Each structure stands twice: as C-alpha cells, then as structure tokens.
C-alpha cells in the first residue's frame, strides 16, 4: 500500500490582504479565545478549503468573507507549506496575496477577536502568532522591499 494512501490531506488557504487606502498595510486578525486551535493567536485570514468551493481562489474569497466580511481581488499564490498534524495527516498550506476590493470590516466574533493593519515594523512578537504566520509576513515584506537585508 502506498504510504500516502493511508493519510488524510487537509488543504488550508489564507490571504495576505493589502489595503491600499491605509498605506498598503496588510490585515492580521487575532483568533477568538473560543477557538479550539491556536486560541488568542494572531494570523492572516483563512481556513480549510471546502470541496464545495470549487477552486482554491474561491476558498480564499469565502474564508476572508466569513471572517472579515470583505471582498478581495487580484488573488495570487504567494507560497506553500506542507506539514503534518499529530495524527500524521498531511496539511497543505496555500498562502495567497490579495487586494481589498470592497465591504466594511465586520468580524465574526466566533472566529475572530480583533484585527489590525500592520507593516513590517509593527508585527507582534513571534510567540503571539500561529505557526508560520510571522515568517510568512516577514517574507512578504522582504519581497515587497519593506525589510532591508543587512
């Protein structure tokens, strides 16, 4: 039997959402303390891809809409990560960049406690983020030329 055949694959999609009207800052959100996984930690909007989404881009749009009540556009793959959970299920993380399109932010308090806009110099401490998030944001800001390599 193929080693991969016995494992479950979970695909997570998330977005680094840029807001041009607030100096191209990106939005991060603090997960609700009610959340089972990573309660009270900072992250970028996203979640599990649903079969009904039909595409990863549609899944990103749905997750951002569910969590922040906004629409996004110009969705592009930024980077991906593959890892596994405690049950050895494969986790595939697809991180996209996107631009804010429309809508007034209204958080789903079951999932999100609060949100803020950040640039590279205003990131919370690393242990306040869910795994990978701070590194993803730092990589994004480096690619955008906002962090200088010393």
Distance CA 48, CA 11 (A): 6
For residues 79 and 136, is the Cβ–Cβ distance under 8 A? yes
What contacts 6, CB < 8 A, 6 or more positions away? none
Looking at the predicted structure, is the pLDDT value of residue 69 above 70? yes
Confidence of residue 149 (pLDDT cuts 50, 70, 90): very low
pLDDT for 113 equals 94
Identify the DSSP state of 4: G
> Minimum mean pLDDT among 57-66, 83-92, 110-119, 138-147: which range?
83-92
Distance CA 148, CA 112 (A): 32
> Minimum mean pLDDT among 33-42, 48-57, 64-73, 125-134: which range?
125-134
Q: Which CATH class is domain 3-143?
A: alpha beta
123: left (phi over 0), alpha (psi -120 to 50) or beta: beta
Distance CA 4, CA 90 (A): 9
Looking only at the bridges linking them, the beta strands covering 90-102 and 71-84 are: antiparallel
Closest CA to 13 of 52, 56, 67: 56
Domain limits of the chain?
3-143
The pLDDT tens digits of the residues spanning 85-126 come to: 666 778 899 999 999 999 999 998 888 999 999 987 677 777
């Amino acid at each position: 039997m193929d080693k991969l055949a016995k494992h479950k694959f979970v695909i997570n999609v998330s977005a680094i959402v840029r807001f041009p009207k607030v100096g191209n800052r990106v939005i991060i959100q603090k997960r609700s303390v009610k959340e089972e996984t990573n309660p009270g930690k900072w992250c970028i909007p996203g979640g599990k891809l649903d079969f009904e989404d039909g595409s990863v881009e549609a899944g990103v749009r749905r997750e951002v809409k569910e969590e922040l009540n906004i629409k996004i556009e110009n969705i592009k793959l930024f980077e991906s990560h593959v890892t596994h959970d405690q049950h050895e299920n494969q986790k595939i993380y697809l991180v996209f960049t996107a631009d804010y399109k429309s809508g007034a932010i209204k958080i789903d308090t079951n999932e999100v406690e609060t949100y803020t806009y950040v640039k590279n110099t205003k990131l919370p401490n690393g242990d306040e983020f869910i795994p990978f998030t701070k590194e993803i944001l730092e990589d994004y800001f480096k690619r955008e030329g906002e962090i200088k390599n010393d």
